Amino acid sequence: MSQEVEVCTLEEGLAQGDLVVVAIPAIHHHTLPKHLFTNKIIVDISNRYPGETQKVSLAEALQEMLPEAQVVKAFNTLSAYVLEREELYCGREVPVCGGTTFARARVMALVRDMGMVPVDKGGLKNARTLEEIPFQFFPEWKVAFIVTGIIFAFFWTIKFFRSQICYNLQKDGDWDWGVFEKLPLSNTQNALAFTGCLLLLLCYIPGMIAAYLQLWRGTKYSRFPGWLDTWLKSRKQLGLLSLLTGCTHGCLAIFLNINWHQAISWTQSIYITCGVLLAAVMTILGVTSLPSVSVKLTWREFSVVQRYLGWISVILLTSHLTFLSILGLMRPLSCYFLLSGPQIMVPVCFLTLMFKIPLVLPCIDSRLTKIRRGYERHNPTDSDNQMPKLIP
């Protein structure tokens, strides 16, 4: 349904309202008619150009130009592409800072009317932080990328020494340079496989550590160590990278290992089946972790998928690795006692499951549930020698 609009001059338009959105580049802010902005709420959506450095934010500079107005920083974290598509910006958080409490409240109301979620960031000095947001480069992925790179390099190096270096050192005669032809495909596929396996375990190990720590402390109100807090916040990224490396490994394995004229043993059948099911479950976990999907799920639906399917994926991973290398796990160590990928990962998988089992026992699970609901175990050293209390 079309709506009528009134075409008017700049002066007439500014006279009709007290909230003005300034949507011009910051280098042109000096051209604004200052006398028309008295007692107005100015919404600054500008961003600096890449590479520019300034001692104060653009919003603070605009406030100095318009001392009789209230400048509020907002919407600078949204691109024009997103603003043109309601399905992309609905439900997104919009940080708002500056001005008086009343001015911020007016702008936050505008944000809500547009279907987004305003986040009050306080005074105008915080605009410096808001103006840095568009230039951030995967800040939440930094830890996950570094961990993934280290793990991949570790397993690739092991495969390189076992398949290329040790093979030639332990054989008689001249070096077989033909084995180095496997470096791009075989070694990469092998390293991706075990990288994906370990990344998946790293998604669930920190949760277990946090659970045991809460049981030991008897409270949920004590902060986790910094390293554990960072680890917990990186689980989503680690899981998605696990899905990526696992799927890439699967594609490479198809080209390397399938032989249509070779009979498949029962261990290979189970190994392949577990691998396919693992890929399917991890795909569900990855898809449901996306904000556009998770926002459509209830808390119970999301928690059931992430919790139970997550541990099912760990069980499938353990089965996949065990049946892959069931005959080679107990072989004597070769290559100067250098462990193979399965000899490293299979024990880690079983240890992860072993430490999870106590947490699902009814007596421990009920205790942990009480703690996470606010129960605090009594500390004998406290001055108030009373019974345990339940904090609402």
In order of 21, 238, 273, 302, the CA distances from 288 in angstroms are: 36, 15, 23, 7
Tell how far CA 377 is from the center of its chain.
Answer: 33
The secondary structure element, H or E, covering residue 21 is strand 19-22
DSSP 61-124: HHHHH-TTSEEEE-STTS-HHHHT-HHHHTT-EEEEEES-HHHHHHHHHHHHHTT-EEEE--SG
Beta bridge partners of 41: 19, 70
283 phi and psi, to 5 degrees?
-65, -40
Task: Give the confidence band of 382 by pLDDT, cuts at 50, 70, 90.
Answer: very low
Roughly how many angstroms between the first and final C-alpha of the chain, as a whole number? 50
Beta bridge partners of 137: none
Helices assigned H by DSSP within 218-328: 226-233, 235-257, 266-288, 291-294, 299-304, 310-324
In order of 159, 254, 364, the CA distances from 335 in angstroms are: 11, 27, 44
Taking residues 144-164, what's their average pLDDT?
A: 93
Per cent of the chain over pLDDT 90 is 45
Pairing mode of beta strands 375-376, 389-390: antiparallel
pLDDT beyond 60 at 392: no
Cβ-count burial 92-131 (b if 16+ within 10 Å, e if not): eebbbbbbeeebbbbbbebbeebebebeebeebebbbebb
Beta bridge partners of 390: 375
Lowest mean pLDDT among 5-9, 108-112, 321-325, 383-387: 383-387
Structure tokens at 165: 């270096």
What does pTM read for this prediction? 0.77
30-81 tens-digit pLDDT? 999 888 999 999 999 999 888 777 788 999 999 999 999 999 999 999 888 8
In order of 53, 98, 107, the CA distances from 25 in angstroms are: 16, 19, 20
Looking at per-residue confidence, does 121 or 266 come out higher?
Answer: 121
272-312 tens-digit pLDDT? 888 888 888 999 998 888 877 887 888 888 888 888 899 99
In order of 186, 189, 204, 380, 387, the CA distances from 219 in angstroms are: 49, 44, 21, 14, 15
